[in-house]
Amino acid sequence: MSNGKLNGARLEQQFANLGINDNHHQSSGKPTAGRYVPPHLRSQSVSALQSRRPHSGWHQRIESETWDNRRTSFPRADAWGGGSRSEMGYSSPQRRGWSDRASSQGDRSYRPGRYQSNNYGGRGGNFSEDGFNRRGEDGIGSWRDGVHIIATRSSFIERDLFGSPDDLDRQHTGINFEKYDDIPVEATGNNVPEGVSNFTNPPLDKHILSNIELSRYSIPTPVQKYSIPIVSSGRDLMACAQTGSGKTGGFLFPILSELFKHGPSPLPPEQPGLYRGRKAYPAGLILAPTRELASQIFDEARKFAYRSWVRPCVVYGGADIHGQMRSIERGCDLLTATPGRLVDLIERGRVSLSQTRYLVLDEADRMLDMGFEPQIRRIVEQEDMPGVNERQTLMFSATFPRDIQVLARDFLKDYVFLSVGRVGSTSENITQKVEYVEDEDKRSVLLDILHAQTKNDRGLTLIFVETKRMADLLSEFLINSGFPATSIHGDRTQRERERALDSFRTGRVPIMVATAVAARGLDIPNVTHVINYDLPTDIDDYVHRIGRTGRAGNVGISTAFFNRGNKGIVRELIELLKEANQEIPAWLETVARETSSYGGSSRGGNRSRGRGQNRDYRKFGSSSERGSYGSNNTE
C-alpha cells in the first residue's frame, strides 16, 4: 500500500478503488462516485455537477470535474449558447487565446470567436428580486469597463463555501475575542500604519466585507488588524504570528480587497512560445510548503473571492497536472501553489508571473530554509515576476529565526515587521507536558495516554514522529491495539494523504500519526492533544507542531516524550516552557545542567536567544547591521 510503484494500471486502479471508501461521494450522493475529486472541490453542489454531465465524454469529464472550479461548473447561457460546450471545442485551434487579443481586458468566455471588449470574468447579471439566484448558477463576478460586477448570490454555493450556521465543522466559535486585547502586538519599521479595530469600508472593499460576514468573522484578529492597513497602504510585511491567529485572513482580506478595488491588470501581448493556449497570469501568488496547506489556503480563498471577478486556483504535486492546467487556463487570478509544481507549470509555459502584484510566502521561514530556498529564489528572481519594487511581498510564519529574516530581506522592500502573540513562544492556551520516556517504553506510555483519554474526550489526537517509517509502524501498532488511527507522511500517495487528513478532520478516525508534513499551518479544529512521540531537533518545529492544538483561542494539551536523544533542544525547550508559563519538571532542568553549555553545536550560539528570534532583527538583532549583509556571522 505504501509503496505505490504500480505503473500502467495505476490510474485505472485508482479510479476503480475510488467509490469504495470515500465518504464524500457516499454521503452527498453526488454523481461523481468512482472519480477522484481533490479535497478543495469536493463540496460542489449536486446541481452543479449534474448540469455538466451531458456535455462531454466520460474521460474528459473526469479531468474537468477534478480540477474544474466553480466558475465553469455552472451553465452559462450567454457564453455557451445552448450549453453544448465540449472539451474538444475548447481546445480547438481556432479558438483565440485571450491573451493575444489587442484589447488588454479580453472576454473570458470560451466560445471560439466570441469577443466582448472591456469585459473580464463571468456573467454578472441575471438578478432576481432578492439578490439570490435560485438555480445556483452563479457566484462568478466580472470586471467591465472599470466596474466590478458582483455576481448574484447562490444559496447552493453559499452552503458549500460557508456551511450552515449550525454546521459545527465550519464554525470558529472558539475564538476568544476578549483575549485579543491582551495579546501584545509589536509593529516595527518606518511609518507603520495604525491598526484597524473593525472590518470597515475604508480601507477594505465593500465586497470583501460581505464575504467576511458570510464567513462569520466579526472582528479582526491581531494579525489582521495590522496586515489590513499595511497591505492597503502598499507596504511589504513580515509577520510573525502565533499559530491559529488568522494569518490566512491576514493576507487574503487585504489582497482580495485591493484586487476588487482595482480590477485586473492589462494583459501583456503574448510571447510566441511552445504552448499556444491560454496562459495564466495570476495577480496574486501564494506559496506554501505542503500540498495540504496549499489546498487549505485555496479553500479560504474561494470563500473570500465569492461573487467577485477574482478566480482562485490551486496547483500542487501528486495530483494530475493536466486537470490543473485546464483549470488555470480558464482564468487564474489568485494562485496558491507548492513550489515544485509551480516551476513545472512555468516551464511548460502555462503560468506567467509577469502580472503578479502580490506575493505571499506562507510559513515563510520554512520556505526560505535550505530545502526550499533555491526554488523560491528561482520563482521570485529568475522567472518573469516583477521586481521587489513593483510588487508587494508578504511573509507569514509563527516562527522567524534571525538568519531567515536576513535572507528574507532579499525579497522585501522597506517592510513592516509584525510580531503578534507571545513573542517567541507558544500560546498559554496550550498546556505543555514533558515526560521522560525511553525509546523502548514509548509505545506502552502512548497506549496508557490513549486509554486514559478515550473515556470522554471527543477531541482529536495528533501524534508526531520523526520518520515516515515510524509513522507507518506506529499507526499500524495503534490499529492492532484497537485504536482507530491513520497516518500522513510524504511517502503516501496524495490520495492517501488527503483521505487520512479528511478522516481525521471529520473525527471518523480520531488519531493520526504524522511526520513534519502535518506540522505547519494545517487548521484542524478540535485537535485537543498533540503528542510529540519523537521530539524534533529544531525547537521551531516543536512550536509549529503543538500549534496544531489550542487554535483560535481554544485550549489544548501537548505531551512530549523526552529522553537523552533530545538533549539538543533541552535548553530551548525550557526557555519556551518558561515563557509560556508552563511547569518545568525538575529532571528536565537537571538534563539541561548536565548538557554542556558549550556543547559543540553551533545551534546554541546563533539561534537560541529565545525571545530574540521572533523579533525584528533590524531593531533587536545584535551585532549585524543593516548594511553588513554578507559578513554578519561574527557573533
Least distance CB 251 / DNA (angstroms): 19
Least distance CB 27 / DNA (angstroms): 27
DSSP helix, strand, coil percent of the chain (3-state; round to 5): 40, 15, 45
Nearer to DNA, 292 or 435 (CB): 292
Who contacts 267 (Cβ-Cβ below 8 Å, separation ≥6)?
A: 98, 99, 104, 105, 106, 281, 355
First to last CA, the chain: 49
CA distance 363 to 521: 7
CA distance 325 to 348: 10
Nearer to DNA, 344 or 383 (CB): 344
Nearer to DNA, 516 or 539 (CB): 516
How far is C-alpha 499 from the chain's CA centre? 17
Would you put residue 156 in left (φ > 0), alpha (ψ -120 to 50) or beta? alpha
Least distance CB 7 / DNA (angstroms): 11
Least distance CB 287 / DNA (angstroms): 10
CA distance 196 to 222: 9
CB 236 within 8 A of CB 193: no
CA distance 35 to 13: 11
Nearer to DNA, 316 or 411 (CB): 316
Nearer to DNA, 306 or 372 (CB): 372
Nearer to DNA, 187 or 353 (CB): 353
DSSP string, 479-527: HHTT--EEEE-TTS-HHHHHHHHHHHHTTSS-EEEE-GGGTSS---TTE
Least distance CB 310 / DNA (angstroms): 23
CA distance 231 to 371: 29
Q: Count of CB atoms within 10 A of residue 600's CB? A: 7
- Phi first, then psi, for residue 445 (nearest 5°) are -65, -40
Torsion of CA 403, 409, 410, 415, to 10 degrees: 160
Nearer to DNA, 254 or 318 (CB): 318
Provide the binding-site residues for DNA, judged by CB under 7 A: 289-292, 316-319, 321, 337-344, 347, 370-372, 375, 466-469, 489-491, 515-517, 537-538
Neighbour order of strands in the sheet with 460-464: 430-436, 556-562, 527-532, 460-464, 511-514, 485-488
Least distance CB 534 / DNA (angstroms): 10
Nearer to DNA, 339 or 421 (CB): 339
Least distance CB 270 / DNA (angstroms): 23
Least distance CB 356 / DNA (angstroms): 17
Nearer to DNA, 489 or 607 (CB): 489
Distances (CA, A) of 449 to 340, 480, 548, 568: 39, 16, 18, 25
Nearer to DNA, 258 or 541 (CB): 541
Least distance CB 55 / DNA (angstroms): 27
Least distance CB 90 / DNA (angstroms): 23
